[in-house]
Structure 1
Amino acid sequence: MDTDNRPSFGRRGALIGAAGLASAGLATAGLAAAGSAPTARADDKRRSPRTHPGRVRSGLQRLADHGYRELAGEKVGILTNPTGVFDDLQHEVDVLQADPRVMVTAVFGPEHGFRGTAQANDSEGSFVDDKTGLTVYDTFELSGRPLADVLQRSGVDTVLFDIADVGARFYTYIWTLFDTMAAAVLAGKRVVVLDRPNPLGGRRASGPVMRPGYETFVGRAPISLVHGMTVGELATLFNAEFLPERVGGPVDLTVIEMDGWWRDCGYGEDGLPWVLPSPNMPTLETAIVYPGSCLLSGTNLSQGRGTTRPFQIVGAPFVDHRLAAELAARRLDGLAVREAYFAPTFSTYSGENCVGIDVAVTDWRAVDAVAYGVALLSALRHLYPQDFRWRNEGTEDDPQFWIDNLTGSPLVREGVDAGHPVERIVASWTTELHRFAAVRRRYLRY
């Protein structure tokens, strides 16, 4: 999920981070109306009266509370990773496989793998799990008919999806969900999604909306960079808005909703333990800045993989003290920046001394991570014009800039190259964000 600088596969290329520990509750047929105000950040004006932290009950916990009735009589395959845990941190595959009320016959592994041992742009492959004896089918980089064939071969009736997201479009677990839903249509299977919290909250959508022609595994459909939705809400949006066009119809979908989650809940206020959704998403603080600092995956900068603070520590050998000074002078809302010196132990610039910044979250609700990312790119382009480079997945004659896949259009790259102010670049996607906000609010459940 946390994209690296290895060669990707054309526009389909490398993947990026996934996470956000979560929660859910039994599905209801109706969709709650919600008011995503059409502003540059598409703020959701609706507010829950809840003002204090409390424990959310995840979709997994709600499913168990009701005796797994949604899975009765069906062969179940579980698509999950280390985040698929109960409140007491027991993994759902271990628990459900041992419960006579559920017939678990297969497991499906996403990027980073079912047990979470693989790094970015990699998986654990297919294998028989030593602990449960279940066959784990590798789904990484599979979509369409090849993925449908895997679902058929597994013999399952229903795919149970339970993976925590981190709220950024280019975190690939939501597209694993999208691809699985599409493949389930082709294979005649049912999908049950166990909802979990979005660690960024759900008040607003922000950032550029992906445009046609930029479909990759870091964005299959036109949603905003920070979508402000839960995986259950995204599943209903995908099913109604995009699957009929892609595969001829919706999938047989059930969403088990959370209980106790509210749209302004985030940054650990759900009372649930944090489980790393991918190897380079160690903390909730990482998830807050990730939608901005991960944009450096589209450049020749280190995103901090190989340090103890990935996506918070970023830099390069050609950077100096001026980067920290410029970003500190901008007084970025909700963030504090310090000068940092580091040598990554793996990934970009492994073993080389780098200079850059270490960003800390001081007020998570005030953070606009996309604006931070644009400010970071703008500062780098301005301060180091001879060294800063966009990552090109194509050729010199036919460039395919990875930053365009991450942001979903050329807007950010072209604005940064032209030296436009950060505020002008952020404003450039306002119209597209308004349109997405109108679609988004039809599918909000909380």
Structure 2
Amino acid sequence: MKRLLPIFLVLMSFAIQAAARERVKAGDEVFLEKHLNLIRGKSIGIITNQSGELQDGRHIVDVLAHVPGVKLVALFAPEHGIRGKASAGEDISSGIDKQTGVPVYSLYGKTKKPTPQMLKGIDILIYDIQDVGTRFYTFISTLDYCLEAAAENHIKFIVLDKPDMLRADLVDGPMLVDSLRSFIGIQPIPSVYGMTPGELATMMNDDGMLKGGVKADLTVIRMENYRRNMWYDETGLKWIVPSPNLPDMNAVEVYPGNVLLEATNVSEGRGTEHPFEIIGAPYIDSEKLISLLDKQKLSGVTFQPADFTPRALPAAGEPKYLGELCHGVKVVVTGRNSLKPVEMGVTLVWAIRKLYPQEFKFIPSYFDRLAGTSSMRSMLEDGKTPLEIFASWRKDNKRFEILRKKYLLYR
């Protein structure tokens, strides 16, 4: 037995080293290890938030602020702020970063695109933000505007690539139509577009998708050991909450579909410990809703009865039905690789409206902007079936996948 122990320890050591080699290295790690030469002797600005935290606990801002020969000029804050503390939709204020003393410019308020004055003295902009992989998650709109500003002001742009929270081989939901472009839908892409931030930036930049067809001097620092069929919790990277109402992977997996309920008078679960996982309203009968949903035979998901009372939690602002008892369902993902989250969300909206045509209400303009098209709401109002609604976006998605393929950086 004693002779076997050293062998066991050696094998364990090899296993640990192999696991370390296989863990995904995000673009910020690769950049610090191999590509600091790109910014030596330069003045930089950084667009980031709490997801700029490295695997060793340091933040990319704090590290780059102390690299010899590099001058950190400014930070740029997206929705939720540099440290990710603000609620969804809450305006972000400009100010000074306490850790570095560097100016922080808000890109989520009256100003969403860096101005020439904000960019004064900057040679290179660095983008380091974790994304979920959905069109209505506003970080990709910030990416779009910052790329555009970099192109217009002749500033180099570096994306430190990160994995999506969703797997990056999933494409689901309707394409955005031009007339509904907004900050929750900046480009004509599907609801779930299956591209990392670096891939999406490359497509927007190289395919002439930026306003006026401008093109930035773009460099993407690729990840290592990443495969596009990975969910975030399969990468080996530590969990950093992407935004206050997506506290875990359970919420992330159902968010692309259940976010549609934000634009209705059904609670999407804000003000509870399980936002987007539980949904409901005072007028819903859980058992009736589950019975109708089960008949749709959705893949990878089941539904359980749920009663909840939304509260004024820090991340929720003032949620719908504050202090009122709501009845609905908890969405339980049983097979995430087969789940089509947008199809699931559309089915939920369809089922609630079918059961409660008098009580259920859309917020029409908001729903259309989230959906990216007015046709989804029109089809729901016209009594079309979920399958008919899903079919309405399939051809567009096939065309998008052909375009997208040219810009994919990972297998």
State the partner residue of 2:137.
171
Q: Is structure 2 residue 204 aligned with structure 1 residue 238?
A: yes
User: Equivalent residue of 1:382, what SS?
Assistant: helix
RMSD: 1.8
In structure 2, relative to structure 1, the CA distance for the partners of 1:152 and 1:101 (3 Å cut) is closer
Specify the alignment match of 1:318 in structure 2. 283
Distance 1:248 1:367 in 2: 36
Distance 2:192 2:387 in 1: 17
Residue matched to 1:298: 263
Question: Quick check: 1:131 aligned with 2:99?
Answer: yes
Larger Rg: 2
Shift of 1:421: 1.4
Q: CA deviation at 1:243?
A: 4.2
Could you tell me which residue of structure 1 aligns to residue 273 of structure 2? 308
> Which structure 2 segments of 5+ residues have no match?
1-20, 313-318
Task: State the secondary structure of the residue aligned to 2:346.
Answer: helix
Alpha carbons 2:92, 2:109 under 8 Å: kept: no
Give 1:142 deviation, angstroms.
5.6
Change (3 A) 1:96 1:373: same
The aligned residue for residue 202 of structure 1 is 168
Deviation at 1:336, TM superposition (A): 2.4
Task: Please give the alpha-carbon distance, in whole angstroms, between the structure 2 residues aligned to 1:189 and 1:354.
Answer: 51
Instruction: Report the 3-state secondary structure (helix = DSSP H, G, I; strand = E; otherwise coil) of the residue aligned with 1:429.
Output: helix
Query: Contact between 2:24 and 2:237, CA under 8 Å: does it hold in 1?
Result: yes
Structure 1 counterpart of 2:405: 441
1:324-369 per-position Cα deviation (integer Å, ceiling 9, x unaligned): 3322343421122111111111311111111111112222111100
Decide whether aligned partners of structure 1 residues 237 and 141 sit closer, same or farther in structure 2, where only a CA change above 3 A counts.
Answer: farther
**In the alignment, which of 327, 334, 337 is matched to residue 293 of structure 2?**
327
Give the one of 298, 304, 322 matched to 1:350.
322
Percent of residue pairs bearing the same amino acid type: 39
Q: Is the 8 A contact 2:160 2:221 kept in 1?
A: yes
1:183 matched to 2:149? The reply is yes
How far the C-alpha of 1:314 sits from its partner, in A, is 1.1
> Do structure 1's residue 375 and structure 2's residue 341 form an aligned pair?
no
For residues 6-37 of structure 1, give each alpha carbon's deviation from its aligned partner in whole angstroms, at most 9, with x where no partner exists.
Answer: xxxxxxxxxxxxxxxxxxxxxxxxxxxxxxxx
What secondary structure does 2:73 align onto? strand
Per the TM alignment, residue 313 of structure 1 is displaced from its structure 2 partner at its CA by 1.0
Q: 1:148 and 2:115 equivalent?
A: yes
Whether 2:385 is the aligned partner of 1:417: answer no
Q: Tell me if structure 1 keeps the 8 A contact 2:42–2:69.
A: no
- Mark the CA change 1:69 to 1:57 in structure 2 (over 3 Å): closer, same or farther: same
| Alignment of 1:91 onto 2:59 | yes
Q: Is the 8 A contact 2:310 2:320 kept in 1?
A: yes
- Return the structure number with greater helix share: 2
CA distance in 2, matches of 1:284, 1:361: 10
Conserved 8 A contact 1:58-1:258: yes
**C-alpha contact 1:168 1:227 (8 A) present in aligned 2:** yes
Q: Show structure 1 runs of 4+ deviating over 6 A.
A: none
| Higher relative contact order structure (alpha carbons within 8 Å, sequence separation ≥ 6) | 1
1:143–1:179 Cα contact (<8 Å) kept: no
Tell me, in whole angstroms, the C-alpha distance in 1 between the residues paired with 2:109 and 2:229: 34
Equivalents in 1 of 2:215, 2:250: separation in Å? Answer: 36
Q: Flag structure 1 segments of 5+ consecutive residues without an equivalent.
A: 1-52, 393-400
Deviations 1:272-320 (A, max 9, x none): 1111111101012211111000011121111111111111111111112
Aligned to 2:73: 105
Question: Does structure 2 retain, via aligned residues, the 8 Å contact 1:68–1:101?
Answer: no
Tell me which residue corresponds to 1:260: 225
Q: Scaled by the length of structure 1, what TM-score is found? A: 0.82
